[in-house]
Amino acid sequence: MPPKFSKEFKIQLVSGQKPIRQHRTSPCEANCPAGNPIQAMENHLKEGRRDEAHALLLTRNPFPGVTGRVCPHPCEQNCNRNRYDEGLAVRSLERFAADSNGVAPLRPGAPTGKHLAVIGSGPAGMTCAYFAALLGHRVSVFESAPVLGGVPRTAVPDFRLPKGVVDRETGNILALGIEAYINTVVGKHIGIEQIMQDHDACVVAVGNWTERRLNIPGAERARPAVAFLKESNLSRPDFTGLKVLVIGGGGVAFDCAFTARRLGAAAVSLLFPEDAEHIKAPAEEVAQARREGLVLHASRLARRIDERGVEAVKLESFAFDEKGELEAKTIEDDVLQEPADVVICASGLQPALDFLAPLNPARTPRGHLVVDSDMATSVPGLFAAGDIVDGPGTVAAAIGSGRRTALGLHSRLMDLPDRLMVQVDAERRLVVSGVSPDGQAHVVDFSEISNPGYHEKAPRRESRQAQASSLPFSEIDAGFDAEAAQAEAGRCLHCGHCINCGTCVERCPGYILVKDEQEGPFVEYPDECWHCGCCRIGCPTGAISIEFPITMRV
């Protein structure tokens, strides 16, 4: 068979794929939990089209300003350019695009006559509401808190994520005509059975809000982490001169530690079971902790809290069982006594689904909801999204889950096939254009790019840091300016996507390839292909594949 080219989509896809056009892709896109079209976004930014990049992100993710700040960016960790010089700063590019002001929003489709209820206004719930409204459904959101936005709005500190960013993107979702009811606790102010009766479908997206308590003496002395972050967001308690110890090594624990320092704590330390090489928090947060003078106690298990502080034992190994309970092997004669005036416990969150008791949906051993491929629970008409399905995860994962749920319930409500192909039309509305074919795009490894030297080596651009004489609650990361964003976007290798460079045409000894300025290279004379592989060897993006068996005319 002659060479086959994988090319960037000309259409904007919300769901599904067309592997005939784009059958190869990059590790960054394959590892994005939100499903962002990363390469196309970077191409827009490289050409200076910031608003178009923002508009493109909104076809998959209504919270790019949030994920552009707090996502742990698995895309960057998997970027092929890490094996060439340095990986791309994808998160910073996403943030730069999302902070543009001239974006063309998506528009709701024709009303379907269906009414959907969403319980929970975090990233999963609001993403589901966003796509359901764009597909033409009427949507009502029920939120127990006095504000919308879930954890990003109430528990993520301002220095990481300004509240105005969450409010802006939540407001854009509400602008689609979505009804929202705050200070409304399902099971107290309104029953789940009433919601099910009044709506055609209901989505549970309440996340995991019940804080797991340590089963050790003195555990009642510890402040729950999320409750502490909520309090700090609202009232800024004074910790001047206090010694603070945080139990836990994830992102929430580190946010508590950074917040305590900004509240005036004289000393802050973290204590967690993971060893120093496997801390759960992102590497940049660990580096920030060291810059700010935080003390990290790795491989430690708290076994007592008293008026002096925390007593912890050394861990040899540990694991969690299917119910999420810790099973640990300790070194009992290696004991740490860490003094603390305040102890904050960030030992995990678990679901609180008592309000669903009348429906009794199937649950996992850890208490999460069991769903099928359409995100439907065992109760007809009841769907779920986000952490309540997958357990505690990232904002990006919640966004991806919310989008899948919206598409799944749309298929059920409208009696459509599974795996819908949904794209954006010229009027910025969503249209169902068919059924996505089976199969996934091949993820291109760096070793498959035979001509990486086509790309000039260049250092990664780092985002600007806010200048302050003391630790501020204002945002630490100041992001990219336009020049840095354009230069950084230009470093993308575009793995698996044709960039219309023409190298394959130049290297073809049989002159069977022709370059079209709009569509890129194509095979003009397939029967005369020698199958020499020169095109593939010369391709700087790994966008060419050759299928076997091969045939040729002699």
Q: Give the start-to-end residue ranges of the domains of the chain.
A: 115-208+351-418, 211-348
Higher per-residue pLDDT: 317 or 513: 513
- Asked if 252 contacts 226 with a C-beta cutoff of 8 angstroms, the reply is yes
| The domain defined by 211-348 carries CATH number 3.20.20.300 | no
For residues 386 and 371, the answer to whether their CB atoms sit within 8 Å is no
Residue pLDDT, tens place only, 496-544:
999 999 999 999 999 999 999 888 999 999 989 988 999 999 999 999 9
Question: Considering only CA atoms, which of 74, 58, 75 is closest in space to residue 127?
Answer: 58
Among 231-235, 241-245, 542-546, name the most confident range.
Answer: 241-245
Q: Write out pLDDT tens, residues 319-367.
A: 877 766 777 888 988 999 999 999 999 988 888 899 999 999 999 998 9
Is omega for the bond preceding 33 within 30 degrees of 0, making it cis? no
Contacts of 57 (CB under 8 A, 6+ apart): 36, 37, 41, 64, 94, 97, 98
Is residue 125 within 8 Å of 497, Cβ to Cβ? no
Reported as a single tens digit per residue, the pLDDT across 396-445 is 999 999 999 999 999 999 999 888 889 999 999 999 988 877 778 899 99
The pLDDT assigned to 485 comes to 97
pLDDT for the residue 467 = 60
- Residue 551 pLDDT: 55
**pLDDT of residue 231 exceeding 70:** yes
Q: In the prediction, which pLDDT does 554 show?
A: 41
Tell me which DSSP letter residue 437 carries.
P
- pLDDT bin (cut points 50, 70, 90) of residue 22 is confident
* CB count in 10 Å sphere of residue 383: 27
How confident is the model at residue 347, as a pLDDT? 84
Could you tell me where the DSSP H helices lie in 414-528?
482-489, 503-507
Task: Note whether 365 and 351 are within 8 A (CB).
Answer: no
φ and ψ at residue 498, rounded to 5 degrees: -65, 135
Reported in sequence order, the residue ranges of 182-291 that DSSP labels E, i.e. its strands, are: 201-204, 210-211, 223-224, 243-247, 267-271
Q: Which pTM was predicted?
A: 0.93
Query: β-strand 420-424 against 430-435: which pairing, if any?
Result: antiparallel
Average pLDDT over residues 137-164: 95
pLDDT at 330: 87
Contacts with 518 (C-beta within 8 Å, 6 or more apart), sequence order: none
Amino acid at 49: R
Read off the pLDDT of residues 380-399 as tens digits, 9 standing for 90 and up: 999 999 999 998 889 999 99
Region 228-237 average pLDDT? 90
Q: Name the architecture of domain 115-208+351-418.
A: 3-Layer(bba) Sandwich (3.50)
**Starting at the edge strand that comes first in sequence, how are the strands of the sheet with 201-204 ordered?**
179-181, 138-142, 115-119, 201-204, 382-384
Domain 115-208+351-418 identical in fold to domain 211-348? yes
